[in-house]
Amino acid sequence: MITEIIKVVETLSEAKDVEQEVIFEAIENALESTTKKKYQENMDVKVTIDRESGDYKTYQRWMVFADESRDLEDPDYELRMLDAVDIDKDAKEGEFVYQEIESVDLDSRIGAQIAKQVIVQKVREAEKKKVIDLYHDRIGEVIGGVVKRVDRNGFYVDIGNNAEAFLPRRESIAKEAIRPQDRIKALLKDINDDLKGPPLILSRVSPNFLVELFKIEVPEINQNLIEIVGASRDPGSRAKIAVRSDDKRIDAVGACVGMRGSRVQAVSNELNGERIDIILWSENTAQFVVNAMSPANVVSIVVDEENQSMDIAVEEEKLSQAIGKGGQNIRLASELTQWKLNVLSETEALEKDDEEIQKITDLFVKSLSVGDDVAVLLAQEGFTSIEQVAYVPVTELQKIDGFDETLVNELRERAQDQLLLEAISTEENLEEHGPSEDLLALDNVTEEYAYSLARAGINTKNLLAEQSIDELIEVDGITEEMASAMIMEAREDWFKEGKIES
């Protein structure tokens, strides 16, 4: 038996590439479990194996407490000092005392079965921990391997070094045929640290997988001559990737496409034929969006900085191409640029522009007491509010054809007077219709925000409860998260009264 234990340790350590100490500890745990089964008692067991000879001894042990201690909970595992000294005269409080008992024989059928289960479990845990340590700093890298087996949950991939990774079906490309013995590449997306299930989680649908594949195929990226700014994907169907270069001698798009499309084709083949649009990044956001809309040609673009959105006009016959099948092209362009994009035909864009100009024109006619001709000129030059007319530099207004110094000064004075009247009106209104006590009492509504809400006509708790998040974020300073918290708190009474079903 002594030589058998040493032989088992050496064989397992070599076969599983696990340290011998881990195997020794696994066998000790197995012997402890077997001992408890043999004695069929609630006891704390400790087994120690001599690392040189393989000889082992078994002990029952107890934790020692002071005689007056009230912390003892289980006499099978704990002893007072009074009883502990009967086992070991050198017993110390807070330490264990040991009493040797008969060791189990691993040659017995039950003993061998239990030992095998514990040893296998511990060795597997040690293997997983080694794999986790080996790959912990490689998250985000592309890993290649051979598919070992497939089940309904996903694909188990042998990546070498006695390591196995798992590609969940949700992380695989739809309709992609992957079979055992296939060689595949995937992004190391995550590591499962809890030792349950496969330790390495792969992904073939992440936009970062696309980025890493281009890094492999395009040397200029690893040489920092070309930078990948962003990527968006509809896995297996279509993708967009934005690239740039500070070196004007380098064609960033051309380098990624490669000679006769060889580089982009290699990436596409790895992604089950996914079509890839390579977009030139631009620091001019509008130009970047125009590039991202490729292959559709943009006729005009209107930028709304405040709402992070753009209206994009394209030729009537190119509208379906700009939108893409199921909205794919516009969705990918929006994800790539991080802007909300709205596609319109030229006719729709002109009609919308006319409506906006008419709306702004009416505002200027009413608030500044000017004729339609002056109001239209202001609107056409990009002025959209009374504040802009009141406070933009005089030189900006004087650039408008037909606007002399006298007219400009008159317009500014009228605009400033109008703003003053609106401010006075608002404050007078607040005195009479300011925030109610129940609105001020809400935890998520500060006094400052309460008055901002009141200026917007939301001066009671019930009125706040009736708002939507989209309506509330139009109030200055209120974010989507804040709006959600305010509305939910205001609606608490509604839930209690059953006005809203959960």
For residue 156, give the CATH number of its domain. 2.40.50.140
CATH code for the domain of 239: 3.30.300.20
The pLDDT confidence band at residue 424, using thresholds 50, 70 and 90, is low
Which of 241, 261, 281 is where one domain is finished? Answer: 281
CATH code for the domain of 461: 1.10.150.20
Is the alpha carbon torsion for 315, 320, 323, 324 positive or negative? negative
- Which long-range contacts does 134-141 make (Cβ < 8 Å, 24+ apart)? 134/161, 134/163, 135/163, 135/188, 135/191, 135/199, 135/200, 136/191, 138/188, 139/188, 139/189, 139/190, 139/191, 140/187, 140/188, 140/208, 140/212, 141/187, 141/188, 141/212
d(CA 243, CA 221): 10
Mean pLDDT of the chain: 84
CATH code for the domain of 73: 3.30.1480.10
Q: Are 177 and 213 found together in one domain?
A: no
Mean pLDDT across the stretch 67-76? 80
Mean pLDDT across the stretch 335-346? 89
**130: nearest Cα among 191, 186, 189:** 191
Mean pLDDT across the stretch 173-195? 89
Cα dihedral: 278, 167, 157, 138 (round 10): 60
The predicted-structure confidence for 365-400, as pLDDT tens digits, reads as follows: 888 888 888 888 888 888 888 888 888 888 888 888
**200: nearest Cα among 114, 122, 266, 141:** 141
Task: Record the pTM.
Answer: 0.61
d(CA 71, CA 237): 65
With a pLDDT cut of 70, the percent of the chain lying above it is 92
Alpha helices for 62-158 (secondary structure H):
81-87, 109-135
The pLDDT confidence band at residue 502, using thresholds 50, 70 and 90, is very low
108 in any annotated domain: yes
Q: Which residues of 480-498 are buried (b: 16+ CB within 10 A; e: fewer)?
A: eebbeebbebbbeeeeeee
Beta bridge partners, 56, equal 49
Residue predicted with more confidence, 434 or 25 = 25
pLDDT given for residue 284 in this prediction = 92
Domain boundaries, position 230: 206-281
